Every structure is written in C-alpha cells, then in structure tokens.
Amino acid sequence: MPVHPLPRSLRSWLLWLSLTLLLVPGARAEDGYALWLRYPRVDDAARLAAYRATLAEVYVAGASPTMDAVRDEIRRGLRGLLDVEVPEVAAPTRAGTLLLGTPAASPLIAALALEDALQAAGEEGYVIRSVTLDAGRPATVVASHTDLGVLYGTFHLLRLLQTHHPIDDLDLVSAPRIQHRILNHWDNLDRTVERGYAGFSLWDWHKLPDYLDPRYTDYARANASIGINGTVLTNVNANAWVLTPMYLEKAAALADLFRPYGLRVYLTARFSAPIEIGGLDTADPLDPAVRAWWQAKVDEIYRYIPDFGGFLVKANSEGQPGPQDYGRTHADGANMLADALAPHGGLVMWRAFVYAAENPEDRAKQAYDEFVPLDGTFRDNVLVQVKNGPIDFQPREPFHPLFGAMPQTPLMMEFQITKEYLGFATHLVYLAPMWKEVLDADTYARGPGSTVARVIDGSLHGYDHTGMAGVANTGTDRNWSGSHFDQANWFAFGRLAWDPSLTAEAIADTWIRMTFTNDPAFVEPVKRMMLGSWEAAVHYMTPLGLHHLMGTGHHYGPAPWVDTLSRPEWNPVYYHRADSVGIGFDRTATGSDAVSQYAPPLDSIYGHLDTVPEKYLLWFHHVPWAYEMPSGRTLWDELALRYQAGVDTVRAMQATWAAVGHHIDAERFEQVRVFLAIQEKEARWWRDASLSYWQTFSRRPLPEGVEPPAHTLDYYRSLSFPYAPGHFP
C-alpha cells in the first residue's frame, strides 16, 4: 500500500485544480477580491494586437493625487490587459499615444479642440476620442475639465478594453445624470453591519487613524470605477460617538484616503447627540443652545474634513430620536442641521422612511401624509431621501407615491444593495431589473412621461440637488459582497446612479465580461440567468404583490403566520390579510385608499381589479381565492404555480451554471454552485411553508404541477434562527 501524506479528498481536489489550470487557458484560482477590476490579458489575439498598436505609450498630464491615481490605474490596467509594459512619456513620440488629462494641465490636450464636448461633459464627465496629433499620428485622448473626470474616463477606457470593444474610432462624451451617487453603510462602531451579509464592517475603527488598511484604497478605486462619489460611513440607526473628536479623527483619515478618488465622506447624525455627547438637556431643534451646539459641532467636523459631505438622518422612525419628540416637524429638524452645514456647503439627506405604531393609518400611506404637507418648507441644502417603495425594500413594491408629489423638494432615491429581504448573500438575485422597474415607472405627476428617473435626476421639477443612495453590501469577506454575484449589484447601482437610462441587460453584459470572461458561450446564458433571477425570487417569496412575510427581526425565511408582535404593522398578517374568502391588502377606496396617493390615472389603474398589474394585485386588493385570473386559473392555483415557477427557475439556474462553469476558474465556480444549491433548498422552503399556511385559509388542493410540501406547517412554524446574520437586536 502506498502511503499518501494527504487525505484522499484533498488529493483529488488538488488533481482537479491542476488539471483545470492546465486545461483552461488563463484559468487561475480567483477569490473575487479584484471585483470587476481584474485586468486579465486580452485573450483575443487580433484584439490584443490592435490594442497594443493603439495604446503604445501613455502621456499623463498634471500632478495631483487624483492624477497619481490615474497613472496607477492605467499602468495596472494596461500591464494586465495588454501584458506589456506601456511606457509613460513626457511628450508623444510615435503613433498610438494615450493622452490623459485636462486642457488646463496640458497645452497638447488644449490644442485638440475638445471644448464643446468638454462643456457637455460638465465637471465630472469626460470625453474619450480618437484624434490625430500635429504630426499626423493617431492618438487617443481621455480628457475632462477636472482630474476626477479624467479618472472616471480612464476607468471607462479600461472598461472598453476589458469588454473587448474596438477602440480605434472612439467619440464618447459621458456625464453623470445624478449629482450625488452615494453608498449608505449601515456600519456600527463595533464593526457589526446592520443587514450586512458579507462579514464585518470594512472600517477598522479601533486601528484608525493610524493603520490604513490597503483595502480602503481598493474600496475607493472600485467606487470611482463606477462613478460613486460619496459614502456615508455609519448606520442610520446612529451612534452619537462618531461625532466626538476621537472618531472624527478616524473618519478624517478615511476621507483623506478617499479624496483622490472623488469619494466624499458623510456621517449619520443622531438627533439626540446634543444630549448624549453635548451635555445639553434637550435636542429641540428650535432651542438656541441646541442650534449653537450643532453649529459648533459642524464647524469642528469641517476642521477635520474640509470637504465633508454632510449628514444623513433617520429621525422619528423605528425608535430613533427626532424633532417630533419636541413637537417639531421633520422640516424643523432638517433645517436646523442644514443651517449649520450651509456655510460649509454641506448637505442634509433626511430620510422619509417614517411610520409610527401609534398611527392607525396604513403604513404604506404614512410617509406621504407626513412629508407632502412639508413640501417647499425645507432649506435649499436638504434632500429628502425616499426608499424605492412605500413599505420597506420588499422583494417587489410599486414605486413610492412621494415620487412626483414633492415638486419643491429635491427627492433622492434610496435603494438597498444589500439583500435584506432577498435571500441575504447566498441567493443569486440581480437587482438592476428591480431598480429599473422603479426608475422607469411613470408617476404621471406632470402627465405621461413623468418617470421616477426624471423626478430624481431633477429634470421633472427642476431640482437644484439630485441624488441616489444605495445601502451598501460590502464587508470584510474576501469577495467584498458575500457572494460573487452580489458584486454585480454594487456595480449596477453605481452605473445606474451615473445613468439611470442604462438597461439592466447592458449592465449585466459589461459586468459579466469584466468579472468572468468575454466568451459568449458564458456571457449569454449567465446574462439570461441574471436577468430572470429577481422575478424568480419574487415568485418563491412573495408572488402577485404579497409583501412583508419574512421571519421576525432577522427577516430570514418565511413566517407569514406571525401575529404576536406588539406593533401591528410589524406582523406579516397585517400585510397579507388572508382569510377564508381571499388574500391581499385592500388599498382601494373601500380599504385604506392608499391608491389615492398616486396621480391619475394610476390611482384608478391600481384601484380596479381589472386594470391593476398582476404583479401588484395583492398589494392593492383583497382578492377571493376563486377569483378568475387572466390566465383562466383561479387565484389559488395561480398563486401556487407562481411559487413553483420560482423553484423551477432556480433549478434552471443551477443547470445553466453547471453547463458553463468550465469557462471560468474553479474557485469562483464552486462557491456559486454551492450557493445556488442553498438557494434551491430555501426556495422550496419558501414555497412549502407559504403554501401550507395559505392552504389553511383557502382549503383548496394544490394544482397539478406543484410539488407537495416536504414537511407539516407545524414544522415550518417551529423553525427559529436567533443567530441569523445581519441582525443585532
């Protein structure tokens, strides 16, 4: 018997790995750390030769920390993609110069007559153009009015190479449609992350400001590569400590690192901070001592962080303190902070995510009722930040009725990148289709064509400030987002904040090519898988407009039966209202009349059973089990088949992945494979637990084609997950 020093499983794994490395050209173990900025050698020989000829030397104009970042990135990118050392030159010497810079820093770039295009590009935008230099030599220029624009343009050029686009005849102008493109980290000072499924917080507060983890720079690079220009470091469930000098010094260290990448730092302001760290006995926004305290605090913050972005505030919501504790309005609170920030050019992002247990009104209506009367009363440097839907980041919601309803107050979008209600980090759910459904929705606020995108890009109401926030999904996991495919959601958020008119498909296409491979045999099926993934999750979790049916507290898995929580609107039964007659929340005129918060004709479209889109059916209507659906089936049968369709789609995703895996590295393939298996198991759990419970009301058999539940309802009800991630009671 030969003696093997390694266990058999490890031996066969190593054999498989070395075979993979031998057989798949370019395949190497990848852990996902590089995100979409991998820069592997271009594996198309003709393309590679063309790129090498077009980009034979690099000329970078100007010296600044941002231009150093440009230099670093182009060197890194070309070294990897072209697999040659492209020389940096002080002046063009031959055909094929890449020129990077501003006209102000370079007479050479100034001489290229780009002024009209640069004008169109604005402060952060850029021009990428194939040009001919004086000597008749072809060159490529990436130019902007600002160094930051040059950096954004550099990432765009690299993206073209990464996705194997021809680059010999370029004429591109790109400018962001939204000014403030911001990540919201729900990160706590103890490094836990509320609704974070990718490990602990990236911010190592204890070692800051001295130890600067190299990861902070890679974080800034990743954000700059997709145009994100702001980051709120701390949780909206805020801790006043972050406003103390010790923490301001730490935040300043991060701000210094992020600055060259155009990433501004913001903090969350706990409304009761004047009491908690200021020694006052009130936080009343109209009290002169409170106002003076905030003014001094803000002045102090700007001494640490001269380009501090401002505050994000969650007030009078889910137990957070706020102006209403003193009988004041949200506008009183926001305006007090805005007054303190205004001399420094800072912003207040005041969240509209408010609802109160004492308010008997339908939770979906409360934010609108609270904020619409305040329209026009906020200071110029306040944006009201509104979640995409009126409840809370559910798998699918109609757009929030505030969009379009506050013409005099800049409203910014809040999306959730982290998947609190969409299977955490294990389920493969590509979120761009969901965000696009919201952005493209027509509010009819000023007649047809008044899309949500036009509300938030400011073009509908002429807002002075525009913004889009995404609740971040990053953490200390090596792959940043907890899963490889969740990186796509970070990427898509940045791309859509830059240009909400991009399609989910185009974004997925680019991301797959950058993250995995350009091979169409991989790109096409994986893209189809991503594009169908959100709808699949909606089907196996909350089909036909159902919502808020997740387990209490942690939101992991189904618990539609919960009816014991102290606040009515925290119980799933509040939302589904299932009974022997039917299921769904009547939000028509006969019910809560939430439909009336939508502009005509939407109020009527949503308000009538024959016109409401099927996807929102049970959001707006209580519908009999026997109701005949457009398919000719009863509601009960249709509902059951939707759950099954969700499970079936996940199985199809597994098959797709198994068939294309050989195109990529074994390490990432394997993690995705296992995560899809988890997703399939949990999709069945959702289907079985939900249908068993609904069946106690409908008293109808499962239609043909729906697999019977594996366990009893009692079993599903008995499951408990006190330590599910992302939740810190």
Site for ligand GCW in 393-452 (CB under 6 A): 393, 420
Nearest to ligand GCW by Cβ — which residue?
A: 392
- Choose, from 124, 147, 414, 420, the residue flagged as catalytic: 420
Phi-psi region of 70 (alpha: psi -120 to 50; beta: other; left: phi over 0): alpha
Sorted by sequence, the CB contacts under 8 Å of residue 319 that are 6+ apart come out as none
CB of residue 320 to ligand GCW, shortest distance in Å: 8
Site for ligand GCW in 27-66 (CB under 6 A): none
Instruction: Decide whether 184 or 223 has the Cβ nearer to ligand GCW.
Output: 184
Instruction: Decide whether 175 or 313 has the Cβ nearer to ligand GCW.
Output: 313
The token pair at 541 is: 């979790």
DSSP state, residue 226: T
The token pair at 568 is: 């009515």
Task: Look up 392 and say whether it is catalytic.
Answer: yes
Distance of CA 335 to the CA centre of its chain: 28
CB of residue 562 to ligand GCW, shortest distance in Å: 15
Asked if 271 interacts with ligand GCW (CB under 6 A), we say no
Asked if 236 interacts with ligand GCW (CB under 6 A), we say yes
CB of residue 472 to ligand GCW, shortest distance in Å: 12
Question: Which pairs from 508-514 meet CB under 8 Å and 24+ separation?
Answer: 508/430, 508/432, 509/163, 510/159, 510/163, 511/36, 511/487, 513/162, 513/163, 513/164, 514/36, 514/37, 514/38, 514/159, 514/162, 514/163
Instruction: Decide whether 103 or 323 has the Cβ nearer to ligand GCW.
Output: 323
Instruction: Decide whether 534 or 657 has the Cβ nearer to ligand GCW.
Output: 534
The token pair at 456 is: 């938030």
Sorted by sequence, the CB contacts under 8 Å of residue 49 that are 6+ apart come out as none
CB of residue 578 to ligand GCW, shortest distance in Å: 23
Task: Look up 420 and say whether it is catalytic.
Answer: yes
Interface with ligand GCW (CB under 6 A), residue total: 11
Report yes or no: 397 and 386 within 8 Å, Cβ to Cβ: no
Angle between helices 214-225 and 245-258 (to 10 degrees): 60
3-state secondary structure of 588: coil
CB of residue 725 to ligand GCW, shortest distance in Å: 12
Q: Indicate which single residue of 159, 314, 527, 547 sits in contact with ligand GCW (rule: CB under 6 A).
A: 314
Site for ligand GCW in 157-196 (CB under 6 A): 186, 194-195
**Which helix H or strand E contains 257, and what residues bound it?**
helix 245-258
Q: How many CA atoms lie within 13 A of 412 on its CB side?
A: 28
> Can you give 381-396 as a three-state secondary structure string?
CEEEEEECCCCCCCCC
Instruction: Decide whether 194 or 505 has the Cβ nearer to ligand GCW.
Output: 194
Instruction: Tell me, residue by residue from 342 to 371, as one string, x for binding to ligand GCW by CB under 6 A and - for no binding.
Output: -----------x------------------
Instruction: Decide whether 58 or 413 has the Cβ nearer to ligand GCW.
Output: 413
d(CA 455, CA 147): 29
Instruction: Decide whether 237 or 656 has the Cβ nearer to ligand GCW.
Output: 237
CB of residue 194 to ligand GCW, shortest distance in Å: 5
- Choose, from 204, 213, 318, 593, the residue flagged as catalytic: 318
Distance of CA 421 to the CA centre of its chain: 14
Asked if 237 interacts with ligand GCW (CB under 6 A), we say yes
Tallying the residues shown for the chain, one arrives at 729
Instruction: Decide whether 261 or 353 has the Cβ nearer to ligand GCW.
Output: 353
d(CA 680, CA 688): 12
- Choose, from 30, 73, 392, 688, the residue flagged as catalytic: 392
Instruction: Tell me, residue by residue from 595 to 634, as one string, x for binding to ligand GCW by CB under 6 A and - for no binding.
Output: ----------------------------------------
Q: Which residues bind ligand GCW (CB under 6 A)?
A: 186, 194-195, 236-237, 314, 318, 353, 392-393, 420
By annotation, the residues acting in catalysis are 318, 392, 420
